[in-house]
Structure 1
Amino acid sequence: MNYSPKDLKNICFRREFFYGYNREQINNILAKISEDYEALNKENEEMQNEIVIMKETVKHYKTIEESLQHTLIIAQRTSENITDNATEKANNIISEAEKNAQDIVHNAYRKVDGINHEYEEIKKSLNIYKMRSQALLATTLEMLKVSDDEKNEKSTT
């Protein structure tokens, strides 16, 4: 740029005696101003194009940002659903395990009761067997005594 706004305000044209202002000086100044004006217009146009490109880039990145935010929200909801489902499944597994454990304990108590009942029956059978064996032995001893007494009576007679 050749002239600043302050320079333009302070330009003074020389006067010639017959023709007024010096045409060559005015034409040179106007040419420089025209060059500056064209350069500014070109620079302004380039900046406008850059602004359009930057606006499109910002729009693109905003779209990506919105997409990422949406994706994060979906991921968070999915994570919460997975966590809830896992918690529910874990609770179901625990409930089922507790029920199975109760069934196993209940069956064990029933088997213990059955074994105790069978033990008592065997004990009764053993007592009955012992009493019968004792009765048989007592009867046999009694018979042996009687047989010995008879032999002793026969031998004394």
Structure 2
Amino acid sequence: MTRHQLRTVTLAGSLALPYVAMKTYWAAGGRAGLADGFSLADEFRRNGGPAALIRLEHHGVDFTAVLALTGVALAFVVARHLPQNPLLRRLLLAPAWAGTLLIPYGLLTALLGALGTGAEDARITGWILPAGVAAFVGIGTALAAAAWPHRPLRRGARTGAH
């Protein structure tokens, strides 16, 4: 991995930090950015979330913040220390490639947020959406930048032969 690619992974991954901080703050009981009376744990419960996630939320651990940090950590592992063992490589690269789908998800979220559906506007304030979009696009970009040098190539593609 080149320095430029590692810098891309670092910068893109750092876009998740405001999201992680915000979600951790909310899980710890903070209210900034949330509408009065809105509770993340209650929202999970209302949407049929697993009891374990609701329990974690009540104890100050937001699973989406943990997943965001896991995605950034995976990007750094793939970028810096990808094992030579083919099975271990595949076990790390598969979720990295799958995580690149966070890019279109984040962009679609931005588009829908810009169109203003109205339903979400009452529960969160305006600065929350950009933090979430930046995290999704940032994590997806970090994973893509880390996994790209390890993509499977056709035979002869490295030498330029057809």
Superposition TM-score tier, normalisation by shorter sequence: under 0.3
Larger Rg: 1
Higher relative contact order (CA 8 A, sep 6+): 2
Answer 1 or 2: which has greater helix percent.
1
TM-score when scaled to structure 2?
0.23
What TM-score do the two structures reach when normalised by structure 1?
0.24
